[in-house]
Amino acid sequence: MSLSFRQSDILNIARQDGRVMVEELAARFGVTVQTIRRDLSELADMGKLDRVHGGAVLRSGVSNIGYEDRRALNEDAKARIAMACAGDIPDGASVFMNIGTSTEAVARQLLNHKDLMVVTNNMNVANILVENPDCEIVVAGGVLRRSDGGLIGNLTISTIRQFKFDYAVIGCSALDADGDLLDFDFQEVHVSQTILAQTRRTFLVADHSKFQRAAPARISSLAEIDTFYTDQPLTAYLRDRCNDWETIVRICQ
């Protein structure tokens, strides 16, 4: 798909400012907000921008977009993914949940589960699950990352190593064409790798936008994931690889 002149201008504005807003673009180009929304959706489909509430942000391969903007990305898809994932977690299970807006969505779907023990390095997940009186919550200590409520570092890793979880629910910042899970923060990567070593079954929750992004640090591969919950079909190549790896792929539409 080729860029229109207006889409090319929109992309240049995003490169200068980091983000663009629908109403401002509509006024600037003298078109309707519906036209701008279509432009932004097409640019997102091409992997040029990430849609956020009210506009879009420039996609980056070396630094993540803001946490509140990530929370607004693909909310409906995240909700469907979360519902499917939570449905596969039985009552009475021990679960680890890491940092991310997708894992937070799963936490919301666990509010009616019984006799859960959830260990997390995500303060937001802990605060969500406080509303479930039948859930024991263990917060893995560490250095607080104020931008997203995540706990990272050696203390976090040391805490995780004290457990053996029935399930781990993890997210990632990007997923490349070979099926490698990627992230931006090397300390967070070390935490995620420790989680994978301490769980019996691993669930990955990631919507299709993760296929269109890049990040510098490798966590693991889909080969190490038991079930991958996403909202759009994989490429034929990656689907075949997942079959070879015996990784179950759940398309949540």
Sheet holding 55-58, edge to edge: 19-21, 55-58, 49-52
The pLDDT of 156-176, averaged and rounded, is 94
The pLDDT of 231-245, averaged and rounded, is 95
DSSP-derived letter for residue 1 is: -
Element (H, E) at 56: strand 55-58
The pLDDT of 228-249, averaged and rounded, is 96
pLDDT of residue 63: 46
- Bridge partners of 176, per DSSP, are none
Q: Which position has the token pair 């269109």? A: 212
Nearest alpha carbon to residue 36 among 247, 28, 171, 223: 28
Q: Is 162 exposed, middle or buried (0-12, 13-18, 19+ CB in 10 A)?
A: exposed
Q: Which two tokens stand for residue 165?
A: 């979880």
The pLDDT tens digits for 198-212 are 999 999 999 988 887
Residue ranges of the chain assigned to CATH 3.40.50.1360: 74-251
Which CATH class for the 74-251 domain?
alpha beta
Residue 29 CB: number of other CB atoms within 10 A? 15
* Residue 84 contacts residue 109 (beta carbons within 8 Å): no
Tell me the C-alpha distance between 234 and 212, whole Å.
12
Q: Assess whether pLDDT exceeds 90 at residue 49.
A: no
Tell me the C-alpha distance between 179 and 204, whole Å.
12
Q: Assess whether pLDDT exceeds 90 at residue 31.
A: yes
* Residue 7 contacts residue 39 (beta carbons within 8 Å): yes
* Residue 148 contacts residue 185 (beta carbons within 8 Å): no
Q: Assess whether pLDDT exceeds 70 at residue 64.
A: no
- Bridge partners of 202, per DSSP, are 168
pLDDT of residue 66: 55
Residue ranges of the chain assigned to CATH 1.10.10.10: 5-59
Tell me the C-alpha distance between 4 and 247, whole Å.
39
Tell me the C-alpha distance between 198 and 196, whole Å.
6
3-state SS class at 251: strand
The pLDDT of 31-48, averaged and rounded, is 90
Tell me the C-alpha distance between 171 and 65, whole Å.
15
Q: What is the CATH number of domain 5-59?
A: 1.10.10.10
Amino acid at 119: V
Beta strands in 94-146 (DSSP E): 94-97, 116-120, 135-139, 143-145
